[in-house]
A and B are shown apart, each in its own frame.
Chain A
Amino acid sequence: MKIAVCVSHVPDTASKISVGSDGKTIDPNGVTFIVNPYDEFAIEEALKFKESKGEGEVVVISVGPDANKETLRKALAMGADSGVLLKDDNYRDSMSVAKALAVQIKEMDARLVFFGKQSVDYDNSIVGQLTAELLGYNCISVVVDLKIEGDKITAEREIEGGREVVETSFPVVITTQKGLNEPRYASLKGIMAAKKKTIEEKPAAENINLIEVVQMKKPAAKQPGKIIGTDSSAVPELVRLLKEEAKVI
């Protein structure tokens, strides 16, 4: 059984972000790229599933430029069996990424597919659901607990004020949220082994964007507020401001 994991390659969240000369994307100079943090939960869950079955093949897939191979390599070092780079140097919207992924997943016939819940670049949280729908697969997003028994899948997903317990069956897409598991670190042995694993490269399916970026800008700098005081004698003034100026209490 093939298990697919879709991973994105994103700026480290601690990076300073500045707008590039095109005014539409970031300036990548000086930005460190990492495995999308949520995708580490996806990789871990796929590896755990394979280990519990004692069989299967975990294939990691990424859509993007050559640089994404770094992220694929890290997933291989964690223990994934092989990688696929669906190559495209250009900007793609979520739907266009999902279409490329769907073609690949269909071709390799993976019936269990993991995504992170969100890419920390554009913070969209939709590529998993889009891909599932394109494939006609069931889908459970933002999963913090997962049980697979035979063909029955039971997952808990995070919602406002609690969790929904969701039941479905294969084929399925799961998008993973923090709390699902503790991603393993790549061991030295894993890193060495990853060098011998293959990353297949092929062009991504046609890039048709429905979304057009008009402009990227820095958020309007907020006027830093007033520091009213340094001890509890400032409390009455704070409460007055909240009541009379902000009118929020």
Chain B
Amino acid sequence: MANKVLVFIEQRNGVIKKASLEAAKSGSDLADKIGTVSEAVLIGSDVDNAGLLGGYGIKKVVHFKNSELGNYSSSAYADLFAEYANESGADYFIFSNTSMGKDLAPKIAVKLDAGIIVDAVNLDIDGENIIAARPVYAGKAILNVKINSAKKIFTLRPNVFAAGEASDSIAEVEIREVNSPNLSTKVIDIKKSEGKLDVAEADVIVSGGRGLKGPEHFNLIEDLADALGAAVGASRAVVDAGWRSHGEQVGQTGKTVSPTLYIACGISGAIQHLAGMRSSKYIVAINKDKEAPIFQVADYGIAGDVFEILPALTEEIKKIKG
């Protein structure tokens, strides 16, 4: 039997992140295919319902607990994860490619002498070889890569791997009280951004670009986003112009997103913008220039004026959402 798969589970405010459910499911599927089991490491203070990870195939959850660990601490989290990684003898490690996962996974790679592949969008399992696909050069090429060391770490792009429906299995949860965590690097505060929903986590995103003509017209974007329960995104051109905050920027120098639905309004679709959103499941483009490159990646498009179309679309959505 191959050695175990260990999944890092991310919590914020005691709630397990959706991306971690995807990681749990992918880790468990991997374990099934190579004939082993999957376990999870969860680090935090009080955490709700860790046992439910069993529904995504996890056999056992080790919860390192301390009131100081509610917020992320790269030093403490790395030490604790590595401690259980060594104890469990796991060879495969799955993280989400979130801001926490990206920070933590490389530290673990050094501690375990493991090869690391980040931001995978596909894992092909062929016997004990795992071929990961990952976009490089701003999505202009795809690299198929594999790891040749015994221990292997993968971080998965959020929203790309399906978590699916949970079964009703419950995982064994082992709580380990941590006495004095290594807090040499620690989060002392979290400043929430003013926006309601963050693009990096939203299932639907409505993004606006320079075609909106000015910040005063972004209410058209916000209204549609509200009607859809979506997050508001922006192109770099409008962020640089100071119309919107950097936290909303989608693209190479902004955030990489893969929502189920991405609606680009008045955005030309420059390669650096596409780099951040082309892995979205469905893309809708609204642009008055039918030659705009955004239509090359869009599933559906309207080659028209945002000022006319957005209000009509918002009304239509409100009708069906009641």
Residues of A bordering B, CB below 8 Å: 11, 13-14, 16-17, 19, 26, 37, 93-95, 120-126, 129-130, 132-134, 138-142, 144, 154, 156-169, 178-179, 209-219, 222, 224-232, 234-236, 238-239, 241-243, 246, 248-249
Query: Is B303 in contact with A210, judged by CB distance below 8 angstroms?
Result: no
Residue pairs across A and B with Cβ atoms less than 8 A apart, 7 shown, are: A130-B110, A211-B145, A211-B148, A222-B296, A225-B298, A226-B300, A235-B302
Query: Is A231 in contact with B74, judged by CB distance below 8 angstroms?
Result: no
- Residues in chain B near residue A124, CB distance under 8 A: 118-119
Bound form: Cα–Cα A121–B109 in Å: 21
Output the least CB separation between A171 and chain B (Å): 11
Bound form: Cα–Cα A232–B220 in Å: 14
Query: Is A133 in contact with B111, judged by CB distance below 8 angstroms?
Result: yes
Q: Is B149 interfacial (CB 8 A cutoff)?
A: yes
Bound form: Cα–Cα A121–B139 in Å: 10
Set B195, B246, B309: member contacting A232, Cβ < 8 A:
B309
Bound form: Cα–Cα A110–B290 in Å: 54
8 A-B pairs closest in CB distance: A210-B115, A232-B312, A161-B198, A133-B110, A129-B106, A165-B189, A126-B106, A225-B299
Closest A-chain residue to B299, C-beta based? A225
Q: Is B62 interfacial (CB 8 A cutoff)?
A: no
- Residues in chain A near residue B141, CB distance under 8 A: 17, 19, 26, 216-219
- Residues in chain A near residue B144, CB distance under 8 A: 213-217
Output the least CB separation between A104 and chain B (Å): 17
Bound form: Cα–Cα A226–B295 in Å: 8
Residues 270-322 of B contacting A (Cβ, < 8 Å): 271-272, 278, 281-285, 290, 295-305, 308-309, 311-313, 316-317, 320-321
- Residues in chain A near residue B30, CB distance under 8 A: none
Query: Is A217 in contact with B300, judged by CB distance below 8 angstroms?
Result: no
Query: Is B316 in contact with A156, judged by CB distance below 8 angstroms?
Result: no
Bound form: Cα–Cα A169–B75 in Å: 12
- Residues in chain B near residue A210, CB distance under 8 A: 114-116, 147-149
Query: Is A169 in contact with B184, judged by CB distance below 8 angstroms?
Result: yes
Bound form: Cα–Cα A133–B153 in Å: 16
Number of contacting residues on B, CB 8 A?
A: 90
Bound form: Cα–Cα A168–B74 in Å: 10
Query: Is B106 in contact with A133, judged by CB distance below 8 angstroms?
Result: yes
- Residues in chain A near residue B111, CB distance under 8 A: 133
Query: Is B301 in contact with A13, judged by CB distance below 8 angstroms?
Result: no
Set B115, B204, B278, B296: member contacting A224, Cβ < 8 A:
B296
- Residues in chain A near residue B131, CB distance under 8 A: 214
Given contacts A14-B271, A129-B103, contact A213 B299 (CB under 8 A): no
- Residues in chain A near residue B204, CB distance under 8 A: 248-249
Query: Is A167 in contact with B103, judged by CB distance below 8 angstroms?
Result: no
Q: Is B117 interfacial (CB 8 A cutoff)?
A: yes
Q: Is B99 interfacial (CB 8 A cutoff)?
A: yes
Q: Is B142 interfacial (CB 8 A cutoff)?
A: yes
Q: Is B180 interfacial (CB 8 A cutoff)?
A: no
Bound form: Cα–Cα A14–B313 in Å: 33
Query: Is B303 in contact with A129, judged by CB distance below 8 angstroms?
Result: no
Q: Is B1 interfacial (CB 8 A cutoff)?
A: no
Query: Is A228 in contact with B302, judged by CB distance below 8 angstroms?
Result: yes
Closest B-chain residue to A130, C-beta based? B106
Query: Is A211 in contact with B147, judged by CB distance below 8 angstroms?
Result: yes
Output the least CB separation between A116 and chain B (Å): 11
Bound form: Cα–Cα A120–B137 in Å: 6
Q: Is B59 interfacial (CB 8 A cutoff)?
A: no
Bound form: Cα–Cα A124–B116 in Å: 10
Query: Is B143 in contact with A216, judged by CB distance below 8 angstroms?
Result: yes
Q: Is B138 interfacial (CB 8 A cutoff)?
A: yes
Query: Is B102 in contact with A141, judged by CB distance below 8 angstroms?
Result: yes
Set B103, B282, B313: member contacting A239, Cβ < 8 A:
B313
- Residues in chain A near residue B281, CB distance under 8 A: 246, 248
Output the least CB separation between B307 and chain A (Å): 10
Set A93, A160, A228: member contacting B98, Cβ < 8 A:
A160
Bound form: Cα–Cα A235–B304 in Å: 11
Closest B-chain residue to A129, C-beta based? B106
- Residues in chain A near residue B247, CB distance under 8 A: 158, 161-162
Most B C-beta atoms less than 10 A away, residue of A167, A169, A209, A218:
A167
Closest B-chain residue to A155, C-beta based? B185
Output the least CB separation between B130 and chain A (Å): 11
Q: Is B72 interfacial (CB 8 A cutoff)?
A: yes
- Residues in chain B near residue A246, CB distance under 8 A: 261, 281-282, 299-300
- Residues in chain A near residue B252, CB distance under 8 A: 13, 120, 123
Closest B-chain residue to A19, C-beta based? B141
Query: Is A229 in contact with B302, judged by CB distance below 8 angstroms?
Result: yes
- Residues in chain B near residue A164, CB distance under 8 A: 71-72, 187, 189-190
Output the least CB separation between B286 and chain A (Å): 9
- Residues in chain A near residue B193, CB distance under 8 A: 161-163
Output the least CB separation between B144 and chain A (Å): 4
Query: Is B296 in contact with A238, judged by CB distance below 8 angstroms?
Result: no
Bound form: Cα–Cα A89–B261 in Å: 43
1/0 per position for B193-209, CB-CB distance to A under 8 A? 10101101100100000
